[in-house]
Structure 1
């Protein structure tokens, strides 16, 4: 995986920021607190959302004072491009995700949870795995070292996805125990079923059922006979009851007619009384109307009314109402106009008051701005003084660099080569030394062979004959060439001495060439530093000139602001005078409205009296109509009263007392029989029900017996299945455990090898021999003398470097252990030098170089340490504006650490 592009808006200390990353080592450099780590946190947040925030909340990532934030991350995985966009917005005191989209070649994934799940599957690691492997966060460089073996085991097992095997093993164990519980219960249930079957078979249920069915038939026959006799008695009872009910209905109707006749007489009397009460109300309304007319005459006679209406014209109410309505409308219109004038004046007063207040506030703001401008000018004056001091320091540094360059160049005055030829001269001498060494080795080998041949010939001469064939050796080839070999040996010895002298001479010249090459490199380095210092010196002079201009402009601006503030205060006083004049006019209009409202109230009272007079007349007319209606109702009631008296006399003539007495006797006899037969039927019914219940119980037991036999077969089969399942779960549990142990040991062996390789690549201290990692992830460091140390016993710098090596080894293990293209994200180091001294920082640079050599495509390092800048392929500078507290990014070429130190 490779991060291609990051865009931020209102994310923590960044208002707007865009950053593109290339392959290789990118160093994000800046002072502490400038916002470097925020860039890495943004990448982490884009990938995993809220899971990347630890104990913080979503609103913590939104820039202070803003209400929303946006993060966009583009990355490449397996040669395929992806893009994530996240947006948050404050809603009240909490932030909520308003957009979360992952664009993939197969479509778009939306929603925070779905995007996080897709990223986890794509990278094959969740947020915890990401920070334990690829993202070494600030302050966590020793996290794996300080972790217990168990915690370290869990971390690495999760990264290598071995935790899933343990989870599967635990699930298989839980399943096995669950199956065992069910199997035990089923076996117990099977035994109980067999005991129940044996108990029921001992009851002879079929014989009991036949006897009960015979008894039920006898009882049913008796019940049928008694029910037939009860039905005849019931019919007689119903006929007699019908006759008596008809008699009762006639009697009740006569009583009802008597009641209705009495109610009609009472209603007629009450209606006549109500007519008298209505007559009295009509008279009272007339009196009230006369009083209202008198009061209206008095008001119309008042001089302020001026309606041109005769006060005694009592009956002309329509003319009076019309005149009153017109005059009230005129007065209300006049009052409305005065009220509009009041409202306009109030609005004007309010606007003018606000205007005066705004002018005063603006004057205060201008004075404050003037003070701020003067303060800024003072600060610029102090800064200019600091700039002058810095310029003097850089001029001194420039002079020192020039002197050192001249001093080193003087070394070439007496040298056998010119300045610029040292590297080529050194390479020639190395080739010459290698040739000498090769010739010396060849000569020594030939000399050894000649001496061996001479020794063999001398041995033969001493013996006089060949030890194998017994022949004389005087004419043997070994003896014939003995003198030639001796001469050759002398020549080779002389040549070896000459070659040794030549090698010593070349080695001495090569040492002098080393010094000249180092001097030449140092001059290149110093000249680069000198050019950079010159550039910085020129920039500082330009900056100081700009600050002088800004100081002069600020002082002029302060004078202008103070003059404008005085003008605003004078304008505010003019507006106050206009407001006082408007308030005086407001009082005059309120007086006019009070007089107008008094006259308007009198007219409204006259209008109310006029309406009341009309209402009283209408009410009296209504009461007269009601009195007439009640008279008509009483006439209708007297007619109905006569009809009901005639109906009552007719019903009394139809009454037959003899038939009523016979019906009563028949009903009594039938009721007596029914009362006797009911208990007998109830008794027989209870007997039959008891027999039926017994039959049902026997039939139920027979059904239960058959069901028990079926249950025995079913439970027995179930027990066999559960036993088989238990055996399979036990086998599966053991398989997962063995597989996890085997895979863990493989990974431990590989991780131990990679850790030793990584540590050896960067660690220059030869006091440590090896690192051991056992199956439980316990780490041990062995010294050259064989003494074992715990990682915590190392020095702070060694411990931090050891932990970084462990992180890099885990990273390599994951990358090598994935089939196909490794999905590893960039190796991210956030302030890795916190616990390192200068020597260990150099080793950290070597570690970074080794990871790049081993094939890590993208490495991102965040640090304020100048020494790491030299290891960068790409440099990103982060600076924070002290005024706005906002950070910004700048691209730059990695300068030398010495140059940064002199700045």
Structure 2
């Protein structure tokens, strides 16, 4: 797996940065606080989101910005991936506004889904990532300082052994669960067996046969009595039919007599209504005559000769035409009056607006004059600041007056001094090592001499030619002491020169920043001077415009006055035309009244005709009623002849006897039915018990099979639990052996020292360092630099184990080291360089190292430099001669 490209927008100290990352060793170099670690944090955040942050999303967005974006392109197992996260910080707290992961199979949306997909892709969550591939700043000793239990959990999780323990626990839970269910089923089986035996003792089938025989006898008795009851019901129905037939004739006779009376009454009432209608027709005729007299009177008040509809309609048409003509004139007059009034109002309003605009322009002119005065005051401050910046620049340049280099050459001078210091440090280390080796040899030789033996061959010293060699070694040791002292003095002198050169370089950078600031202030002075002139000119122009607006407002007021006079003339004409329309309307109303009276007269004529028709209809209705009355009288006579009293009496006797028998037989049937229902209930109970017995037997057999299956499942779960435990122990032992071997290989490779022989790692992940003499040491007893280098070796060994795997290679994330030299001295830094080189030789595709140490630069295949502008607080990424600017934000 390899990081290909990272793009940032408003992320911490970066505003807009796009960086490509290649295979091999990439060193991100820069001073402390320049923003190096933020590049790695951005990659970590792109993969795992908020879980990768030490604090909250609010710290991700650059101060003063509303959005931050991070995009990471990476390759995994030959597939290309792209993750894009955007953070929005416009509310009370920042939130993820967009999170998309593009994969070869498609897109994944949402922060949680993307994080879960990345965890599945790498087979490690954020914590596992920092425990394996990402050595974060300040956490170089994390693994070595952890307890064996913590170290075991970390490494087991990385090697996926935690899954086996999880499976073992699941198998244990399953075994206990099966046992609990098995115990419960065994108890249920014993209870079912007891219930079956209890029911078998009742002889349920014999009891059922006896009850069914008794039920047959009772049902025979019920059938006999029900037959007798049906015969009684037939007799009762026949008697009631006779009685109902004669009762119907009696009722019909009553109805016929009632109908005769009703018809006689209706005929009399209808004749009375015909007399009333005749009187109503006479009254209506009198009202018609009165209305015709009213028409003649109204006609005399108009200029129409006749009251016929055509004459009235023609006159109304003439009046409508006249009214329309006057209405048109009236509308024109009203429109003109309103138009002149509106124009006058608009002109008045326009005059007011012009006066207000004139006042606003004068007020704005006063404000501009005040702003110009304030700008004059600012100019004085800016000119004073220019003088101050000039003095500071001169003071910084004065630093070079007694210096051995000219202004502008400090950077080159600093590099020369550092090269000299590094050469002296390397020489000092060589002399120290040679001196230690020589001194150890002299001490061993002196010990042998004291014992009377030759220091070279171990033979008796008498007459040995090798004794003179010890004096030469002593002379050489004295020479080394003198040279080492001289080299140390030269190194201290050069280190002092490095410090002076660093101060001179800082002075050059300060002068450059001050010059930039001075140019900015000079630009501000020019802008302010132009602003003062522009504001005063604009104020004068506004005052002139205000005078013009006041003059225009006076003209508008005069025009408005003339328009109001014209509007008054048009309103007088409106009053005259409205009077003419009222006169026309009065004439129209008189004609409409004549038309209304004529319509009422016509309505009365129609009513007279309707009354006459109604009277004729009533005469026809009475004729029909008289015919029906004759028919009803004939039917009444027939019904009186058909009524037979003796037959009715016999039918009543039959009805009484049948009702008595039915009443008695029902009581007997009720008793028999109760006996039958009781027997049926008892039979049903016995059958239910038989069915329950069969069901209990089936449940017992099923449960017995279930208990046997559970016993087998319990044994299988126990075997599975033991298998997972044994497999985890076996794999852990294999991992421990491989990790111990790789740890010793890496440590031997980078730590070439005669002090330590090997490192041991037991099955509980307890670490022990053995000295050459076999004395064991806890890693915590090592020096700070040795402990840091030891921990880095352990991290690299774990990385190798995961990468190579137990059964084959596996794709791994880049190996990331963030400020790994924090706890290392200069001697150990060179060993760290060898560690990085060794990991590259072992085939790690991509190694990213963040450091402010110059020595690591030499190990880089690709170098990225990060600097921060002290004035803007913005970081810059320089790579291959290209500079990408980033906005202000947090430090590393």
How much has 1:691 moved relative to structure 2?
A: 1.7
Q: Take 1:352 and 1:762, find their aligned partners in 2: how far apart are those partners?
A: 89
Q: Which residue, out of 536, 544, 550, partners 2:518?
A: 544
Matched, 1:817 2:802: yes
Partner of residue 305, structure 1: none
Q: Take 2:102 and 2:662, find their aligned partners in 1: how far apart are those partners?
A: 92
Q: Take 1:186 and 1:42, find their aligned partners in 2: how far apart are those partners?
A: 58
Deviations 1:327-347 (A, max 9, x none): 667766876785895798799
How much has 1:694 moved relative to structure 2?
A: 1.8
Deviates more, 1:816-825 or 1:368-377: 368-377
Partner of residue 563, structure 1: 537
How much has 1:577 moved relative to structure 2?
A: 7.3
Maintained 8 Å contact 2:361/2:546? yes
Deviations 1:32-59 (A, max 9, x none): 8xx8776555444432345556885799
Cα pair distance change 1:734/1:369, threshold 3 Å: farther
Deviations 1:165-213 (A, max 9, x none): 4433333333223222211221111011111111111111111111111
Partner of residue 220, structure 1: 219
Cα pair distance change 1:538/1:879, threshold 3 Å: closer
Cα pair distance change 1:169/1:47, threshold 3 Å: same
Q: Take 1:115 and 1:223, find their aligned partners in 2: how far apart are those partners?
A: 83
Cα pair distance change 1:551/1:557, threshold 3 Å: same
Cα pair distance change 1:612/1:497, threshold 3 Å: farther
Maintained 8 Å contact 2:788/2:824? no
Deviates more, 1:109-118 or 1:622-631: 622-631
Maintained 8 Å contact 2:239/2:654? yes
Q: Which residue, out of 674, 681, 691, partners 2:669?
A: 681
Partner of residue 230, structure 1: 229
| 1:227-626 correspondence to structure 2 within 5 Å | 227-237=226-236, 338=338, 381=383, 384-385=386-387, 387-399=389-401, 401-402=403-404, 541=515, 544-545=518-519, 547-565=521-539, 567-568=541-542, 571=545, 585=560, 588=564
Matched, 1:711 2:699: yes
Maintained 8 Å contact 2:6/2:18? yes
Cα pair distance change 1:493/1:805, threshold 3 Å: closer
Matched, 1:4 2:8: no
| 1:192-207 correspondence to structure 2 within 5 Å | 192-207=191-206
Q: Take 2:270 and 2:161, find their aligned partners in 1: how far apart are those partners?
A: 102
Partner of residue 891, structure 1: 878
| TM-score, scaled relative to structure 2 | 0.65
Partner of residue 827, structure 1: 816
How much has 1:398 moved relative to structure 2?
A: 4.0
Q: Take 2:270 and 2:757, find their aligned partners in 1: how far apart are those partners?
A: 128
Cα pair distance change 1:571/1:11, threshold 3 Å: farther
SS in 2 for 1:817: helix
Deviations 1:571-611 (A, max 9, x none): 46755776798799599599899999999999799989979
Maintained 8 Å contact 1:402/1:530? no
Deviates more, 1:388-397 or 1:650-659: 650-659
Q: Take 1:621 and 1:844, find their aligned partners in 2: how far apart are those partners?
A: 133
Q: Take 1:234 and 1:212, find their aligned partners in 2: how far apart are those partners?
A: 33
Q: Which residue, out of 711, 723, 736, partners 1:723?
A: 711
Partner of residue 179, structure 2: 180
Q: Take 1:724 and 1:36, find their aligned partners in 2: how far apart are those partners?
A: 62
Q: Take 1:782 and 1:264, find their aligned partners in 2: how far apart are those partners?
A: 143
Gaps of 5+ in 1: 298-311, 410-418, 459-485, 895-903
Cα pair distance change 1:372/1:494, threshold 3 Å: same
Q: Take 1:729 and 1:676, find their aligned partners in 2: how far apart are those partners?
A: 77
Deviates more, 1:692-701 or 1:854-863: 854-863
Partner of residue 481, structure 1: none
Deviates more, 1:213-222 or 1:570-579: 570-579
How much has 1:666 moved relative to structure 2?
A: 5.4
Q: Take 2:348 and 2:13, find their aligned partners in 1: how far apart are those partners?
A: 48
Maintained 8 Å contact 2:36/2:850? no
Maintained 8 Å contact 1:30/1:877? no
Cα pair distance change 1:507/1:777, threshold 3 Å: closer
| TM-score, scaled relative to structure 1 | 0.65
SS in 2 for 1:117: helix
Maintained 8 Å contact 2:319/2:584? no
Q: Take 1:537 and 1:524, find their aligned partners in 2: how far apart are those partners?
A: 20
Cα pair distance change 1:726/1:768, threshold 3 Å: same
How much has 1:635 moved relative to structure 2?
A: 7.1
Gaps of 5+ in 2: 302-310, 413-419, 882-892
Cα pair distance change 1:848/1:512, threshold 3 Å: closer
Partner of residue 886, structure 2: none
Q: Take 2:148 and 2:271, find their aligned partners in 1: how far apart are those partners?
A: 111
Q: Take 2:500 and 2:594, find their aligned partners in 1: how far apart are those partners?
A: 118
Deviations 1:852-902 (A, max 9, x none): 345373436499x999999993122355986xxx956442799xxxxxxxx
Deviates more, 1:722-731 or 1:589-598: 589-598
Q: Take 2:37 and 2:267, find their aligned partners in 1: how far apart are those partners?
A: 104
Cα pair distance change 1:162/1:452, threshold 3 Å: closer
Maintained 8 Å contact 1:84/1:102? yes
Maintained 8 Å contact 1:4/1:74? yes
How much has 1:709 moved relative to structure 2?
A: 1.6
Q: Take 1:720 and 1:511, find their aligned partners in 2: how far apart are those partners?
A: 89
Q: Take 1:761 and 1:598, find their aligned partners in 2: how far apart are those partners?
A: 119
Matched, 1:852 2:842: no
Partner of residue 303, structure 1: none
Q: Take 2:460 and 2:83, find their aligned partners in 1: how far apart are those partners?
A: 83
Partner of residue 866, structure 2: 876
Q: Take 2:54 and 2:172, find their aligned partners in 1: how far apart are those partners?
A: 33
Deviations 1:757-780 (A, max 9, x none): 999999999999999999888999
Q: Take 1:158 and 1:615, find their aligned partners in 2: how far apart are those partners?
A: 110
Deviations 1:81-139 (A, max 9, x none): 21112456799989886654322233333444432221111122234544666567789
Matched, 1:118 2:155: no
Maintained 8 Å contact 2:27/2:848? yes
SS in 1 for 2:124: coil
Maintained 8 Å contact 1:50/1:58? no
Deviations 1:783-804 (A, max 9, x none): 99x999998x99xx979x9799
In the alignment of these two chains, the number of paired residues is: 805
Cα pair distance change 1:735/1:599, threshold 3 Å: farther
Deviations 1:714-741 (A, max 9, x none): 1111111112222332343344455556
SS in 1 for 2:848: strand
Cα pair distance change 1:117/1:210, threshold 3 Å: same
Q: Take 2:221 and 2:44, find their aligned partners in 1: how far apart are those partners?
A: 94
| 1:772-811 correspondence to structure 2 within 5 Å | 809-810=794-795
Q: Take 1:341 and 1:790, find their aligned partners in 2: how far apart are those partners?
A: 100
Partner of residue 26, structure 1: 28
Maintained 8 Å contact 1:384/1:544? yes
Cα pair distance change 1:789/1:537, threshold 3 Å: same
RMSD: 7.1
Q: Take 1:706 and 1:851, find their aligned partners in 2: how far apart are those partners?
A: 80
Maintained 8 Å contact 1:761/1:846? no
